[in-house]
Amino acid sequence: MSKYKNPARYRLDFIKENTFNRVWSIRMTRAKVIAGTVTVVAAGAALVWLIMAYTPMRRLLPPNLGGDLRGRYIETALRLDSLQHAARINDAYISNIVSILSDSIPEDSAMRIAAEKVLAADSLLFASDAEREFVRQYTEEERFNLSVLSPIAAEGLIFTPPMSAITSVEPTGSGVTVTGGREAAVTSVYRGTVVSLTTDSRGRTTVVVQHPGDFISVYTDLAETYVQRGAKIAGAQRIGRTAADGTAGFELWHNGTPLNPGEYISL
């Protein structure tokens, strides 16, 4: 006579506390408990994946941060650090004034004050008048020196226009705005390497190309790009296209100095 072994069963009861009557009950075996647990975990994971894949929350994940959004995060973090830096200085200053007015200056206050004043310089704090004047003078001197050397460095380099058919050219802050046909193709002015690709909040992309001789070309307001960062490109190769208005920004730099593109390229 074989013995029959009953499988382990589990029961979950919901009982009304006032009358001790069973309101609802569910019975499950061990296999059903495991299957139910796995189903709940899988459903939760699927829900999280759907939220991250098909909602704006996916932009909060580090791999999906756009260039403009990542830059804003970094800038916000730096500015927050600067505010904390300035707050510590103000707190130390107010603490010293309170100590003087209340006649409670400790004997080693000179050492404390000196230690509180030794704070690292922060580039986001406002510059003094002397610093701004020094930067202006240095910039003017270096700009003159580098602008003299730029034509010499450009000898032997033949730059091509960033568009095949340019209808107008308007000077901007550090370059020009060129206008071509509707959704005109934008091409590299010389061979080089794509060193940067950034997209702003409007969805427009900026492409930076490093050329021989320490020249850099910048193409802004592109509606679509055809190259990737680190790609080696040839002269007159298509790197993107403009929007429907047919306009794109173009800048030419040498050793950190903006140049007049019209002196090096036939626009």
Q: What is the dihedral of CA 111, 116, 120, 126, to 10 degrees?
A: -130
Q: Are 196 and 207 in contact (CB under 8 A)?
A: yes
When pLDDT is averaged across residues 230-238 and rounded to a whole number, the result is 92
* Burial of 171 (C-beta count, 10 Å sphere; 0-12/13-18/19+): exposed
Provide mean pLDDT across the span 12-24: 79
Cβ neighbours of 5 (radius 10 Å) = 6
Look at residue 161 and give its three-state secondary structure: coil
Question: Is the model's pTM score more than 0.85?
Answer: no
- Contact between 248 and 163 (Cβ < 8 Å): yes
Q: Which range has the worst mean pLDDT, 28-37, 83-92, 105-114, 149-158?
A: 105-114
Q: Please, which pLDDT band fits residue 18 given cuts at 50, 70 and 90?
A: confident
* pLDDT at residue number 120: 47
- Give pLDDT, residue 239: 95
| CB distance 196 to 251 below 8 Å | no
- Is residue 130 over pLDDT 80? no
Residue 179: per-residue pLDDT? 93
Both structure tokens of 135: 């930067």
Among 134-143, 168-177, 190-199, name the one with the lowest average pLDDT: 134-143
* Length of the chain in terms of residues written: 267
Q: Taking 70 as the threshold, does the pLDDT of residue 98 lie above it?
A: yes
